[in-house]
Structures are given as structure tokens and as C-alpha cells.
Structure 1
Amino acid sequence: MAEKKTAREPGCFGKNLAVIRAALHLSQEQLGEKVGLSRQQVYRYEQGLTFEPLHSTVERVASFAGVSQEQLTHTLLREGDIHVDGR
């Protein structure tokens, strides 16, 4: 039987980007540099103007924040969930 995936919460990825930025005290530009996004793209995700990130973007951000890709796209993170080495 195929594994059932939970539905994504709309805007979850963008909301989680904002949580990651707050936890690490980074600007949109600084976070973008660390995960390979422009400041404008970080803004668009955080504001809910862009909902569906590329898979490669999800991989990079999840790896950077120390969370799973599913956590990043399916659940709302809290600052305590972020586990970045070498901030």
C-alpha cells in the first residue's frame, strides 16, 4: 500500500522561512544568500505571493535549517525546531 502524505498547509513553506530567519536573526537577503534564493524570492514566499517552491529549494532550506523536507512544507515550525550548525 502506498504511503499517504499529509496535505500541505497553504503558505507553510513561506511561513517557515520567516521562522527560520527570526530564529537566526537574518535579513531576507542574508537568508537568501545562505540557501540560494534572491531577497525578492524570500519576500515572495514569506508574503504568500509564491506558494510552491522547487524541490531543490526545499532540499536546500531543509538542510540549512536542520529539519526534514516534510516538516518544512507540511507543518508550521517554531524557533526551537531550527538546528543550524555554524550560524
Structure 2
Amino acid sequence: MWTLRISSHFSKFHNNDPRNGIALCKNHHYGFDAGWFTITHEFQILCSPHLRNTCNYIIPGSTILLPRNSRYTPALEALDWHRKNIFKA
């Protein structure tokens, strides 16, 4: 089965830094950009209390799959920016 993945940026200010994004399917990309969920410093999914997640499409507390090469691990500053500026807390 083929799945389309696109990159989603945490912060609009560091688009050329590979630590400023993750690969998501188009539906999760939209939800991430809309602030429906974010990623914690522990690299776990945190869902907005405003999200009606009745189908468990996004599983709160799940740990994201990190890159094998730690040089590409999401930057904590970028995660902070997304949580403070995009996430709907």
C-alpha cells in the first residue's frame, strides 16, 4: 500500500533546517498546521482539548518515530515554537 507523506514544519522561521519538521500524511499535516496536536519534549503526541478525536485518528501520548541519525531529531526550540504559537491549548 502506498502512503503519501509530506513535510510539516514546526516553525515558519527555520524552513531549511531539517530539525524543523517531520514527515506526515496529508491529513495529519493539516491537523498539525491547524494546531489540533503538537509534540512534547519527550516526543509524544499532545492533543488539543478542542479536538473531537472519536476515531482515535491521533493517539495521545504516542511517541513519534525518531530519525536514526540524531542530527535530524526535531529541535526542542522548534517544538516549543509550535506548541506556543500554533497548538490550540
TM-score by length of 1: 0.31
Q: Specify which structure has the higher proportion of strand.
A: 2
TM-score by length of 2: 0.30
Q: Which has the higher contact order (CA 8 A, sep 6+)?
A: 1
